[in-house]
Chain A
Amino acid sequence: MPGDTPRPLLAVSNIEVIYDHVILVLRGVSLAVAEGGIVALLGANGAGKSTTLNAISGLLRTERGEVTKGSIELHGQAIHRHDPSAVVKHGVVQVMEGRHVFEHLTVEENLLAGAYTRRNGQATRRDLDLVYHYFPRLTERRGFKAGYVSGGEQQMVAIGRALMAQPTLMLLDEPSMGLAPKLVAEIYEIVARLNREEQVAVLLAEQNATMALQVAQHGYVMENGRIVLDGDAKTISQNEDIKEFYLGLTGVGQRKSYRDVKHYRRRKRWLS
């Protein structure tokens, strides 16, 4: 939150990301996450949300991408040249899009793999209990191969596994993807609790703006690799353009029925 705190936990300033040396995907992206805050990064498919998260976690290089301009700082320390394992050791863990679990490992082994960067066996045991406390459903599934548990449970494994690294900042990429609304609500509730009780800051990339703006304090909207709008969550959810394009509401705040859609579309104000 620029201006709110003297030095945010994470500060991304003006980064540019290029894939394969030629494809420019992010232009001048800046954002900040405060200590213990939840920040939503909204935008449609292909807007550059995942790329932004990958740039922070260092996974960008595995996809032949590179941060060519700007800086990413954690506690004022530049991390954009670090490899992913160093970033994890600094307390930033990414939960990748599409709930990637280690399919052939059991649920518990997945969680243990998340604790890899920490060598203290006792603390690991304790954190395992903590994860089972937040995700009681995983307790029954601990011996199952992660590839065979349900989609919602896989998402829980992915978040729980990230928690095992004791992060100060969790990068959550599209946790609602492909899940039933009830499960999405359940997962969001747990994320909010983790943030409240364990002081984990969260940077949340989401297409589901309604859900994301409910838990976040601050939001950024991305389009075509740029940030086009930012503000606190309330202001953003009141924005007419956001209501129309991201929340699916009409001007009067009612749910929009696509039966009545007229053949004009509101023009986005930020595309001058």
Chain B
Amino acid sequence: MSDDLGFFCLLMSNGLLIGLMYSLIALGFVLVYKATDAINFAQGEFVMIAGFVAAGGLMVWGVNLWLSIALAIASLVVFGFVLERVMLRKLIGRPVIAVVMATIGLASILRGVGPFTIFSGSKPLPLPIRDEPFVLGPLFIPPIQVLGAVVSLAFLAGFGWFFLKSRKGIAMRAVADNQQVAMAMGIDVERYFGVAWAMTGIVSALGGILWGNLLGVDVNLALVGFKVFPVVILGGLDSIPGAILGGLIVGVVENIAAGYIDPYVGGGTKDFAPYVLMILALMVRPYGMFGKRIIERV
């Protein structure tokens, strides 16, 4: 195999694995949007705060790894529930901008609260997996990326099944489709809003642990949240398969861009290439590749 092809394969494998980890975070965004029509601009901060809790447990309070992970998941679930109850329920029926601004505000608060209450500066979040990458011909595959991809796929499949097959999943989609009719069918609409935010909490917690291991835990961990927007715009705001595909595309595009363009311009393409794609996607297919179209009868 030539060096060129080997380099391309390396970029692709890296991109696909990282892409699935983006999908996991994007899933958090999609769950909330699907069920409640709320756009969560604090998704990255959810991930960051989960990282803070997990790393705090491990490095500051000295509890063991599993307990730290459980703590991160539990606290994010509770946080999701409470947030919906206290803040977002009041905003139901208000203009979209109210929820957008509220979550942007929340993002800033979380960025302050994490370092303020748990620890300041940066801490690692070591997981009991080996550091040396698997070497397969030209490919170097870090174990954490494999773990990330497996966890992401498991949860994406799990939530996919939940929405398609379970009674509660169907009810949740019914709520997303038409709240008033859902209510007329006896579905307790408000409870499902809480459930959606709690599920986002679970996904964000896992994302926080995986990304925290990869990048280290500090305030900048929240920046992975920015990658959510190209992912969900490409895939469709309310589509789980869309989140997977969008994540893969964003992962691949940013790696390819970084591998081939960076040497000429001195770096940085990784951060904006997905957004170029996002804007192009908005011009061609504003509802994403799998997003639900508005059904109109003529």
Contacts and interface: CB of A to CB of B under 8 A. Distances in A.
A168 interface: no
Nearest to B189: A85
B195 interface: no
A134 interface: no
Contact of A59 (B180, B188, B297): B180
Contact of B295 (A84, A112, A116, A147): A147
A62 B185 contact: no
Contacts of B178: 100, 102-103
Interface string A158-173: 0001100100000000
Interface of B: 167, 170-171, 173-174, 177-188, 292, 295, 297
Contacts of A100: 178, 180-181
Interface of A: 57, 59, 62, 84-85, 87-89, 93-94, 96, 100-105, 109-110, 112-117, 119, 121, 145, 147-148, 151, 161-162, 165
A100 B184 CA distance: 10
B173 A116 contact: no
A127 B186 CA distance: 17
20 contacts: A85-B183, A87-B186, A88-B184, A88-B186, A89-B186, A93-B184, A93-B185, A93-B186, A100-B178, A101-B181, A103-B177, A103-B178, A105-B170, A105-B173, A112-B167, A116-B167, A116-B171, A116-B187, A148-B295, A151-B297
Contact of B184 (A96, A115, A147, A148): A96
A116 B182 CA distance: 10
Contact of A94 (B184, B188, B295): B184
B253 to A, nearest CB: 29
B185 A113 contact: yes
A85 B173 contact: no
B186 A112 contact: no
Instruction: List the 7 shortest-distance A-B pairs measured between CB atoms, nearest first.
Output: A88-B186, A147-B295, A117-B186, A102-B177, A113-B174, A85-B186, A100-B181
Contacts of B177: 102-105
Contacts of A110: 174
Contacts of B185: 88, 93, 113-114, 116-117, 161-162, 165
A191 to B, nearest CB: 18
Given A62-B179, A105-B173, 20 more contacts: A62-B180, A84-B184, A84-B186, A87-B186, A88-B185, A93-B186, A96-B180, A96-B181, A102-B177, A104-B177, A105-B170, A112-B167, A113-B170, A113-B182, A116-B174, A147-B295, A148-B295, A162-B185, A165-B185, A165-B186
A113 B184 CA distance: 11
A59 B171 CA distance: 18
B237 to A, nearest CB: 13
A248 to B, nearest CB: 29
B264 to A, nearest CB: 45
Contacts of B297: 151
Contacts of B184: 57, 59, 84, 88, 93-94, 96
Nearest to B172: A113
Contacts of A112: 167, 170
- Among B179, B182, B186, B292, residue most surrounded by chain A Cβ atoms (within 10 Å): B186
Contacts of B188: 85
